[in-house]
Amino acid sequence: MKAGIHPEYKEVNVSCACGETFTTRSTRSEIHLDICSKCHPFFTGKQKIVDAEGRVEKFKKKYAKK
């Protein structure tokens, strides 16, 4: 590896919207997540609608029975 061209790789705290925090290594100073392995539907077995841009509400509004 060439010296002086690689970014600094340090330990950082990762925080999720659910409140879970853990430490990993990254070139960034902090990492904020919307979904982690503690709250993701695939890992928890619970169905949860994850909608960051309002697509679910738009679909429900479009196809709602009048």
Domain map (residue ranges) of the chain: 10-62
Residue 34: the pLDDT is 83
* pLDDT tens, residue order, the chain (66 aa): 688 898 888 999 999 988 889 999 999 989 998 888 788 767 677 766 666 677 778 888 888 876
Name the phi and psi angles at 55, rounded to 5: -70, -35
Residue 50: the pLDDT is 66
C-alpha 64: how far from chain center:
30
Please tell me the pTM assigned to this model.
0.54
Residue 52: the pLDDT is 66
Distance, in Å, from the CA atom of 36 to the CA atom of 14, rounded to the nearest integer, reads 10
Residue 51: the pLDDT is 66
Overall CATH class of domain 10-62: few secondary structures
